[in-house]
Amino acid sequence: MSDHVTVIAEAGVNHNGSLDTALALVAAAADAGADIVKFQTFKADALAAASAPKAVYQARETGSAQSQLEMLRALELPYAHHHELARACEAADIEFLSTAFDAESLAFLVGEMGIARIKIPSGELTNAPLVLAAARSGLPVIVSTGMATLGDVEAALGVIAFGMIGGNEAPSRAAFEAAYASEQGRAALAGNVTVLHCTTDYPTPPDAVNMRAMATMGRAFGVRTGYSDHTAGLAVPVLAVGLGASLIEKHFTLDRSMPGPDHTASLEPDDLARMVAMIREAQAALGSPVKAPGSAERANIVVARKSLVAAQPIGAGDLFTEQNLGVKRPGDGRTPMDFWRVLGTSATRAYAPDEAVE
């Protein structure tokens, strides 16, 4: 069996500000078999200026009359709701997680909610103060890399390495680079960081996924890799598992027709369950890197393979020739790989047609 692939069901802001909807999302994620259900924690006024425009997909889904800041205010998840969601997660045996988009929210999630890991979203990859605070938490860190170059990811990992290994040096680009290059820093990254390949486009067309970049990051940085998916279907996250993803994140909703920025690029509960089942099947199919027959195959060797047999009556002392030496099932006799070794030798006894040659 391959290592377990962690599945994060990304509820995000698909609760539309409703606690009842958020609780229903927890139940749906647990029923689907996901390992983690993840929300988003932010203070809208700390996240966006009044002048910040909406993304194209946000304007498409929610209209342009409302500003991004106004949209975010309507989607804030109150701190009190976090506690109720965490209790629901505990009862449903699924891990509660939320992504912080500002320093206050991160401190709340780590200090008061006691989350088990930190997720840095793609948009915060270059937010060095927030990334550093995440690294200093002592928790494992998941990093999404949508919109990023390889250099952007390396720079963020330098900040994380610096935060994880501590020290008295003041934060600076030079200090981050030194931490990233150090043996201690690289060990901290390898043991505590998962980097997610991601394309920030909702929904992402398959030809924009560029999945090979996931392996590129794994080779470049020596960290675990995964995939945060924004495609419309199920095939791409399963492909990611086949290519070595240790973690899959996927948006889901109760109903894709609900109003809001992310619903149309999300899976509904039945498809989320289907995706989890497909991931588990892919995970099981990966198996071992050793090429050898499994236990089920070994039982079929005798039936499917062949042995050397007499193609016609052969007398004791007769020479084996291409005319009197044949190859037939079952495969419980001498391997046909010895065909040419046997040719020209003398039979030590008589053989009837189809009798296995020793």
As a whole number of angstroms, the distance between CA 107 and CA 113 comes to: 9
Condensed to tens digits (0 to 9), the pLDDT of residues 132-154 reads: 999 999 999 999 999 999 999 99
- Domain spans, the chain: 6-286, 295-342
Tokens of 53: 């425009």
Task: Give the three-state DSSP class for 66.
Answer: coil
As a whole number of angstroms, the distance between CA 206 and CA 41 comes to: 29
As a whole number of angstroms, the distance between CA 118 and CA 141 comes to: 5
Q: What is the phi/psi pair of residue 249, to 5°?
A: -120, 135
The alpha carbon of 210 is separated from its chain's Cα centroid by a whole number of angstroms, namely 15
For position 2, what pLDDT does the model report?
Answer: 57
Least confident of 13-17, 37-41, 65-69, 224-228: 65-69
CB-CB neighbours of 322 under 10 Å: 10
Condensed to tens digits (0 to 9), the pLDDT of residues 288-319 reads: 899 999 988 999 999 999 999 999 999 999 99
For position 1, what pLDDT does the model report?
Answer: 44
Q: What CATH superfamily classification does 6-286 receive? A: Aldolase class I (3.20.20.70)
Question: Is the distance from CB of 220 to CB of 22 less than 8 angstroms?
Answer: no
Q: Residue 98 is inside which H or E element, if any?
A: strand 95-100
Q: Residue 38 is inside which H or E element, if any?
A: strand 36-41
Cis peptide before 206 (omega within 30 of 0): no
